[in-house]
Amino acid sequence: MTHDLPRIVLDTNAWLDLLLFEDPRLAVLGAALHDGDVAAVVNAACLAEWQRVLQYPRLQLDLDRRLLLSQAFDTLTCLLADGSMREPEPLPRCRDRDDQKFVQLAFDSGARWLVSRDREVLALGRRTARAGWFEIVTPQAWSLTGALR
């Protein structure tokens, strides 16, 4: 990963929409990731959640499909060591503790965007943008605006 690329964090549902469901509304985002226009970052906690979610019975993924999805994820992401690259700040808190790791990763990594469909995560976007940290946007909003900047 080139350090000059703008960094982006996708929550697990955004990754599922992109890689598993191949949602056409994420085509621009997928192309930006494949073309190396942005660098998707993950940490150990986000990677562990991805692996755990692929095991969910309701997704009905066999081992081969899980391996393919894991390989695609690994190809498109850069695993960062835990720990902040920035001075600690009092970040806004998600009601769902499972989502806080994405907010923390976006801050710690110096990401420009956090992509999520979760309403509670999206609601934090004004505060993170006002503080100058990062934008929290839906995948579709990123495709319309993030790709243009």
Domain enclosing residue 78, as ranges: 7-148
- Going by C-alpha positions, the residue among 85, 70, 63 that lies closest to residue 16 is 70
Q: Rounded to two decimals, what is the model's pTM?
A: 0.93
Q: How many structural domains compose the chain?
A: 1
- Going by C-alpha positions, the residue among 117, 124, 131, 149 that lies closest to residue 6 is 149
Amino acid 145: pLDDT: 79
Amino acid 148: pLDDT: 60
Amino acid 74: pLDDT: 97
H or E element in which residue 102 lies: helix 97-109
- Residue 43 CA neighbour count, 13 Å, CB half: 18
Amino acid 134: pLDDT: 96
CATH (domain of 102): 3.40.50.1010
H or E element in which residue 114 lies: strand 113-115
Amino acid 2: pLDDT: 52
Regions of the chain short of the pLDDT cut 70: 1-3, 83-88, 146-149
Amino acid 124: pLDDT: 96
For residue 51, is it within any domain?
yes
